[in-house]
Structure 1
Amino acid sequence: MSEHLHYHQANSEDVGLVLDVMRTVHPVDIKLIEAFQQNLLRVQIKKGQILFNENELCEYMYFIVKGALMGCTTHNKRKITTYISVEHDFVSSISGLHGSDYSHEYVVAVEDTQLLAMHNSELNRLFSHHFELNYIFRVVLEKYYKDAQQRAHIIRVGNAKERYLYFAKTNPGYLDRLPLELIASLLNVKTSTLLSIRKSFTLPKNQNEELEEWGKKLEMHVNKQQSFRNKDIRLHALAKDIGISSHRLSVVLNRYFNKSFIDYINQYRINWIKESIRNPEIMQNFTLEALAYSAGFSSRSAFYIAFKKFVGMSPLEYSKNLNK
C-alpha cells in the first residue's frame, strides 16, 4: 500500500493543527495530546499519486493539511468519483475503516497534498482509553454521513442543473479550483453537460457590474461598522443592514468574492488581528487569545484554524516573524 510513501514524525505545529480541529468538537486531555505528539506522522504526495489502492488495507487515518484528495472506485472499467476532500478533512478507507477490511475504493491526490497520519493500530488503542476521541470521531463521522446522504439524494432525484447548484452551494470555490471532469464524475453527469450548465450561470456584463456594486457596498459597510467583530453575526442580518436579500448576498459572496460567508467574515477578523499584532503597544497589553475574542472569534480553536488557513502559519509564528 503505502510502502512508496515516506512518513516522518510530525512536529508540534502539525499536532497543534489537528488538536485545534478536534477541540472544536470536544476538549482534549493531556494524555491524548501526548499520544498525538508521539505517534502523529507527516507525509506528502504529488498530484496524481495514489494514497492507497483498491483491495488493499488502508493502514492510516489521514488529516489533510493542504491540498485535495478524491476517493474513487471502478465499475465496468469506468472510474467513479465517490467523494472529494480538502483541507482539514479526515480521510481513510470508507469500506475498510480503521483497517477492518480491504478497501473497495482507492484514493488519489487531485493536487500536491500535505497529510498527517495516525496508524490504525495506535488509533484503535487510543479509542479504547479516551472517551473524548470516540466522541470526536463520532461527530466527524456523523457529518460525513449526512453529507454523503445529501449528495446521494440529490444525485438520485435531481437533474443536472440541480446537482450543479447543490455542489456550488455546498462547496464554494471548488468549481474554480478542481478539474471539471472530477466534479462531473462525483455528480454523475457528463463533463460537457456540466460545462454547458456552468456557462449558463456565467453572468452577463451588466450583472457582473451589479455584483461589483453590491460587493463594494458590502466592503464599505463591513469596514466602517466593523461588523465582523460581532461574534453572533449572521448572513441575514448583514444582508438587512446593507439593504439586500439574503439570497442576493450569498450570490455576491460566492460569485464576486469567491468565498463562503464564514470565510469572508473570518478573513476580515484575521486581517484585523494581523494589524493589531503589528502594533507593539497593543501586544504589550493583550494576548493573542484576547485579540481573537475582540475580533469576533468565539473560541481559541476557531481562531487558530482560521489564522492558519488564511496566513499559512500559526499566529504565534506570525508574531515571532514580525519581531525578527
Structure 2
Amino acid sequence: MENLAIFSAYLKQVPFLTEADCQFFNRFLGEQVYQKGKLFLEPGRICHHIGFVCKGVFRVYYLADGKEVNTRFILENDFVVDYDSFSNQKPSKYYIEALEPAELIVFTLPTLISAYDHSHNWERFGRLIAERAYRETITRVESFLFMEAEERYLQLITEHPSYLERIPLYHLASYLGIERESLSRIRKKIAYSERL
C-alpha cells in the first residue's frame, strides 16, 4: 500500500488529472519487486509493463561486440520502460536491470488504452510519457554529437548529482562513452581545478 500511496502522490502533482481519473486507474495497478541484478526486460522480449519506480535504480543497456553500453539510468519517481517496445508491442533491443533492490507500481498497455478511452486527460498523460522518452533520446544523441566527454560528465553531475552516489563509476563511464580510466582522469582534473 505504501508504494500505491507514492504513485498516487505523483499522479496528484499532474495538474490536469482529476481525482476521478486517478480512482479509475488505481484498480488496474500492480506491484513488482526486483532484487539487485534482476532483469525487468531483455532483448527479444516485448515490454508488457511500464513501471513507476517507488524505490531503487535501474539501468538500460545493450551489448556491442560483447561489451555492455549503458544508455539510461532510472531512479525514483520516473518510469522504467522501453517505450518503443511497449507502445508498438515489438521485441526490445535492450536489457533493463535493477542496480539496487527495487519496488515498482506497474501497468500494462491495455490499461493505458482503457484509460485513454475513459478520459482525454489520460491521453495527455500518455503523450507526456512519450514526449519525455523522446526528449531523453534526443538529448543523449546530441550530447555525443556536440559535446566532449568532460562536458558530458559536467552535464551529468549538474542534472543528476545523485548518480554519483548510487551508480558505480564503471557504469557511468559506459554511459558517457568513455573508459573508466578516462572518467577517473576527468574527475581528478575537475577536482584539481576546483581546489585552485
TM-score (norm 1): 0.56
> Paired residue for 1:122?
111
Task: Tell me the distance in 1 between the aligned counterparts of 2:102 and 2:170.
Answer: 19
- 2:73 aligned with 1:69: no
Q: Which is higher, the Rg of structure 1 or of structure 2?
A: 1
Between the two structures, name the one with larger relative contact order (CA 8 Å, sep ≥ 6): 2
- Asked if residue 158 in structure 1 is aligned to residue 147 in structure 2, the reply is yes
Q: Point out where structure 2 has 5 or more consecutive residues left out of the alignment.
A: none
How well do the aligned residues superpose, as a CA RMSD in angstroms? Answer: 2.1
Residue 93 (structure 2) pairs with residue 86 (structure 1): no
Which of residues 32, 45, 53 is equivalent to 1:43? 32
Deviation at 1:167, TM superposition (A): 0.9
Contact 2:47 2:92 in 1 (8 A): yes
Q: d(CA) in 2 for partners of 1:203 and 1:137?
A: 45
CA contact (8 A) 1:61 1:98 kept: no
Give the whole-Å Cα distance in 2 for the aligned partners of 1:60 and 1:34.
Answer: 20
Amino acid at match of 2:160: N
In structure 1, what is the Cα distance between the partners aligned to 2:54 and 2:108? 17
CA distance in 2, matches of 1:142, 1:95: 12
Q: Residue in 1 aligned with 2:136?
A: 147
| 1:52 partner letter | L
* Larger strand proportion of the pair: 2
What aligned pairs does 1:1-324 form with structure 2 within 5 A after superposition? 11=1, 13-98=2-87, 100-202=89-191, 207=195
With over 3 angstroms needed to count, the CA separation of the structure-2 counterparts of 1:203 and 1:22, relative to structure 1, is farther
Q: Secondary structure of 2:97's partner? A: strand
- Aligned residue identity for 1:71: V
Separation in structure 1 between the aligned mates of residue 105 and residue 73 of structure 2, nearest angstrom? 17
User: Which structure shows the bigger proportion of residues in helix conformation?
Assistant: 1
**Percentage identity across paired residues of the two chains:** 22
Number of equivalent positions: 196
| 1-structure distance, mates of 2:145, 2:122 | 34
* 1:95–1:104 CA contact under 8 A, matched in 2: no
| Contact in 2 for aligned 1:71/1:81 (Cα 8 Å) | yes
Q: Is the CA contact (8 Å cut-off) linking 1:51 and 1:108 kept in structure 2?
A: yes
Shift of residue 99 of structure 1? 5.8
Runs of 4+ in structure 1 off by over 3 angstroms are none
Which string of whole-angstrom CA distances, capped at 9 and with x for unpartnered residues, describes residues 252-294 of structure 1? xxxxxxxxxxxxxxxxxxxxxxxxxxxxxxxxxxxxxxxxxxx
- Give ranges in structure 1 of 5+ residues lacking alignment: 1-10, 209-324
Q: What letter matches 1:39 in structure 2?
A: F
